[in-house]
C-alpha cells in the first residue's frame, strides 16, 4: 500500500510539475506574501518573522526574503525546544537545513514539558524555529503587499 501511495503521489507531482514548469520571481513573491499573511509574525513592529516546525516552510521563507534583497547574514534564529531533546543536535539540524551559521542563533527556549507528551509530535520532531529579520523598510514593504492583496480581494467581493 505504501508503494502504491508513493507511486500515486509521484505521478501527481509529475503532472503538476509538467503543467506549471517553474515559478517566476513575481509568482514566488506573491506566494511568499500569502504564506506570510497566514503564517508570519505580524505583531512586532518593523520585524518580518516566521515561526514554524516545518523546515521546508522556513527554507522557502528565507528564499522569499532573499527575493526582497534581505541579506541572509542579518537573519536571527530562535528555537523553541523541549527538555528531552538534544539541544545541540537540534541547533545543528536547523543550522544545516537552513544554511545559517550557529552564530546567528539566539539562546534557545527550552520548554519544561517533554516532546513525548505531545500527541502530534511528528510535526515537532525538531521543535519550532523562528526566523527573524528586523528592518523597518522591509516590514513596511511586506505590510503594503498584504494591504494590496486585501484591496484586490475587496474589489472582487463587493457588488
pLDDT tens digits along 101-143: 999 999 999 988 765 665 555 566 899 999 999 999 999 999 9
Tell whether the model's pLDDT for residue 19 goes beyond 80: yes
- Within a domain: residue 142? yes
- Within a domain: residue 71? yes
- Within a domain: residue 43? yes
How many folded domains does the chain comprise? 1
- Within a domain: residue 48? yes
- Within a domain: residue 6? no
- Within a domain: residue 132? yes
- Within a domain: residue 61? yes
* Mean pLDDT, rounded, for 4-31: 91
Total-model pTM: 0.85
Radius of gyration of the chain (CA): 18
- Within a domain: residue 118? yes
User: Containing domain of residue 138, as a range?
Assistant: 21-157
Amino acid at each position: 500500500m505504501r508503494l502504491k501511495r508513493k507511486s500515486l503521489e509521484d505521478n501527481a507531482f509529475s503532472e503538476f510539475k509538467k503543467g506549471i514548469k517553474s515559478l517566476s520571481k513575481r509568482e514566488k513573491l506573491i506566494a511568499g506574501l500569502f504564506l506570510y499573511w497566514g503564517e508570519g509574525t505580524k505583531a512586532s513592529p518593523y520585524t518580518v518573522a516566521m515561526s514554524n516546525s516545518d523546515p521546508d516552510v522556513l527554507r522557502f521563507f528565507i528564499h522569499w526574503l532573499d527575493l526582497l534583497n534581505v541579506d541572509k547574514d542579518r537573519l536571527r534564529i530562535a528555537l523553541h525546544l523541549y527538555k528531552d531533546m538534544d539541544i545541540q543536535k537540534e541547533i545543528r539540524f536547523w543550522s544545516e537545513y537552513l544554511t545559517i551559521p550557529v552564530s546567528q542563533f539566539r539562546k534557545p527556549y527550552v520548554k519544561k514539558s517533554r516532546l513525548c507528551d505531545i500527541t502530534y509530535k511528528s510535526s515537532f520532531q525538531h521543535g519550532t524555529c523562528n526566523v527573524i529579520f528586523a528592518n523597518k523598510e522591509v516590514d513596511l514593504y511586506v505590510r503594503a503587499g498584504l494591504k494590496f492583496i486585501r484591496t484586490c480581494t475587496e474589489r472582487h467581493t463587493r457588488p
